Each structure stands twice: as structure tokens, then as C-alpha cells.
Amino acid sequence: QSVLTQPPSVSGAPGQRVTIACTGSRSNIGAGYTVHWYQQLPGKSPKLLISGNNNRPSGVPDRFSGSKSGTSASLAITGLQAEDEADYYCQSYDSSLSGFYVFGTGTKVTVL
């Protein structure tokens, strides 16, 4: 039922680059609203990874970067590390009846 769609899983070997797409619509990402990304380690709460489309909070490695274009956004992880194995969620604002703040369906990143 999420209005933001992500691939269920992506994988890569250590050191590789992976990207996660977040596909929305004209009532959220396409309307210009900012996109944020969260990392959720197993059994933990989500942690803010990228805010305002492409800003990293203090302490987040520069291996993580975000971008946005049209009705989609992307999270890139370069130099993939074992500790990056987690679930990743995008989040934005939606101006329809979907509920103001909406999250993506989530993507499981597996480090091979």
C-alpha cells in the first residue's frame, strides 16, 4: 500500500557500488517534495541516512549519497561494506490523501 516503490532487494560484493531506486508520483516526489533515506539494521529502529534529497547528517560516511529526478529518487552506496547490510527506506511528503508523510516499500541490501 506504500505510495513510494522500491526494489525488494539489491546485492553487491564488498567494494562495489549499488543503487536503490525510489519511485513516486506527481503528488509526492514529482511535486518537488524532499526525499529522505533511512537505514534500518536488523532489530533496530530506522536511522536517518540522507536528508533533504542529498544531505548526510553528521557521522554518516560519504559512501552514501542521494539524488532526485522527476518522480524518482536514488540512494547510492559506493565501496560497499559488510556493515551496510540492512534495510533501506525512502520517505517523502504526499499531498494526496495518502497521508502526508509516506515511506517506501523498503529494500534489503545484501553484501555478498
Partner 1 sequence: QLQLQESGPGLVEPSETLSLTCSVSGGSIGGSNYYWAWIRQSPGEGLKWVGSIYFRGNTYYNPSLKSRVTMFVDTSTNDFSLQLTSVTAADTAVYFCARHQGDCSSSSCFLSYYYSMDVWGQGTTVTVSS
Q: Is residue 17 part of the contact set for partner 1 (CB under 8 A)?
A: no
Q: Is residue 26 part of the contact set for partner 1 (CB under 8 A)?
A: no
**Of 36 and 77, CB closest to partner 1:** 36
How far apart CA 42 and CA 33 sit, in angstroms, is 29
In the list 48, 67, 71, 78, the residue contacting partner 1 (rule: CB under 8 A) is: 48
Strands of the sheet with 18-23, listed across from one edge: 18-23, 72-77, 64-69
Contacts with partner 1, residue ranges (CB under 8 A): 1-2, 33-34, 36, 38, 44-48, 51-52, 57, 89, 91, 93, 97-106
